[in-house]
Amino acid sequence: MGTASAVLRGLNSQVASAWENRAKADTQADYFYIHATAIYPVAMVFSGGLDMYQLYGHRNSGAAAIEAALELCQIAYRFIDVEASTEAAEALAQLNPLKQIPTLQLPDGGAITESAAILIHLGLTFPKSALLPAKAEDRDQAIRGLVYIVSNCYAAIGVIDYPERWLLMPDEASRQNLVAGARERLHWSWEVFADQFSAELYLDDETPGALDVLAAVVTRWAGSREHLRQTRPGFYAWLQRIDRHPVLAPVFARHWPS
């Protein structure tokens, strides 16, 4: 309850007081999600009692990119931690049979999976957010970059994290060999991305877009940042600028506390 109470103190006093009293009496208080000036119990979330986007994820996951995009869109949403309760995990399974995150439930009850598809949906639905460029030729390249990341970089991370899924006989030597090869391919793919897409990325006088937030998140895994620091220092410096953006920094801090 310590973290929840600290956040509650910053909310509207009447709303916070009512829900803090509820939380004290609720054994599942850790499953509350707090956003902006409201806090919602899990039972209300899963009953469909509120009409807004619901993002299924957990800390240190690709859901951080979608959460960052939702913040840039300046729209209300709930983040549902699928590791917080069996109820949350079951709700994810109903929406996405692969049980993969991020999964975004739409206000009408539908769902979108796959990070690139979610970011494209938000960019098209909220054009003023500038998640996707307004000019068609620039937008085409941004979408190309999103697909590049998920098909080359994200895919390699899936092999590194779960090598047994790709081996019929997952002995330790085979696991290590597969992971080493996937990591080498991942780092090379980021080098190519840095060389190919630098012109499409955020500058200090612009609003970060979907390609920026996805790159900033997916480079955090499997030693990619350190590799890029050594091989593509300009791109590495750009990633650090994204990390410090005033809208995005709080999101990244929630997923990767220092």
CA angle at residue 123 from 76 to 45, to 5 degrees?
Answer: 30
pLDDT per residue over 157-184, tens digit each?
A: 999 999 999 999 989 999 999 999 999 9
The CATH 1.20.1050.10 portion of the chain extends over 132-255
The 10 Å Cβ neighbour count of residue 231 is 14
What pLDDT is attached to residue 6? 36
* 132-255 CATH, one of 3.75.10.20, 2.60.40.10, 3.90.950.10, 1.20.1050.10: 1.20.1050.10
Asked whether 62 and 218 are in contact (CB, 8 A), the reply is yes
Residue 48 has pLDDT above 70, yes or no: no
| Mean pLDDT value of segment 98-108 | 95
Cα–Cα distance between 215 and 212 in angstroms, integer?
5
